[in-house]
Amino acid sequence: MSRSLKITILGCGDSAGVPRIGGDWGNCDPATPKNRRTRPSIMVQSDTTTIVVDTGPDFGLQLTRENIKTVDAILYTHDHSDHVAGIDDLRIIQGRINKKVPIYLDKKTHQSLKTRYGYIFEQTSTFYPAVVDVHLFAKESMRQKHQIGDIEFIPFEQDHGQGNISLGFRFGDFGYSTDMRNLDDKAVSILKGVKTWVADCADFAHGHGTLHADLPTVERLNAEIGAEKVYLTHLKMFYDYNKMAAALPKGFEPAYDGLIINAQILQL
């Protein structure tokens, strides 16, 4: 059996996507398809298992675009709306697989989602059953191995600025770090040795902001992590794909929706 993983960038846009409502493309050339960016999410697939990270507002459209009918589990990075607001669409998957959809998340995200989407967690009407089966990441299970189907992964905490914590994930020789402003040594130690790293660079051209990383931060972190290829994600409408690609150092590229990355399942 193949031991490879296929990673698909479902979305690499910022919280508003590109274009923004009303066709505002900012500095992006509308004629370049790679400038059309939905909200941040990835899909990780082995031969037998499909995992999606986050269910943002474009979740349903992203799965339709990729012709995906069911998933085995959802991992959540944090509770910001651009990562969770498509949670209602899990009802379609629940109906299709005829059981609750397993979701993996930390305590803070769980509490927030339960408050905002109580009906997803507990049946509140005669017609609509609860949708999700909750798997909580305990504090002590951070930076530990977890497994869904035949896919192993390691969650780790990331500094998302202003006291926010998001989760990053390592799958084999691939790392995903959306929505981080910086990473501490513990997070870096988990990512060390990945071949490909997808990293938040929402503040690419706007200096080091309060919630997201800028390019010097991603470069500094990767000097320790050592990924051969770094794809930048959570990209705003200010960054045209071709102009950004031309300005980046060797080994760094902007991500784009639909990008496929091949990774290997390793003994983590």
By the criterion CB under 5 A, which residues form the site for Zn ion? 82, 179
Cα dist from 242 to 71, 90, 186, 253, 261, whole Å: 33, 35, 34, 10, 19
CB of 236 to Zn ion, least distance (A): 11
Which of residues 37 and 152 has its CB atom nearest to Zn ion in the complex? 37
CB of 267 to Zn ion, least distance (A): 31
CB of 89 to Zn ion, least distance (A): 18
CB of 234 to Zn ion, least distance (A): 6
Coil, strand or helix: which one is 188?
Answer: helix
Which of residues 82 and 152 has its CB atom nearest to Zn ion in the complex? 82
Which of residues 82 and 257 has its CB atom nearest to Zn ion in the complex? 82
Which of residues 151 and 187 has its CB atom nearest to Zn ion in the complex? 187
- Count of Cβ atoms closer than 10 Å to residue 268 Cβ: 16
* Contact yes or no for 160/166 (Cβ under 8 A): yes
Which of residues 82 and 106 has its CB atom nearest to Zn ion in the complex? 82
Contacts of 135 by beta carbon, 8 Å cutoff, 6+ apart:
73, 102, 103, 104, 105
Contacts of 52 by beta carbon, 8 Å cutoff, 6+ apart:
10, 41, 42, 43, 44, 59, 63, 71, 73, 74, 75
CB of 137 to Zn ion, least distance (A): 19
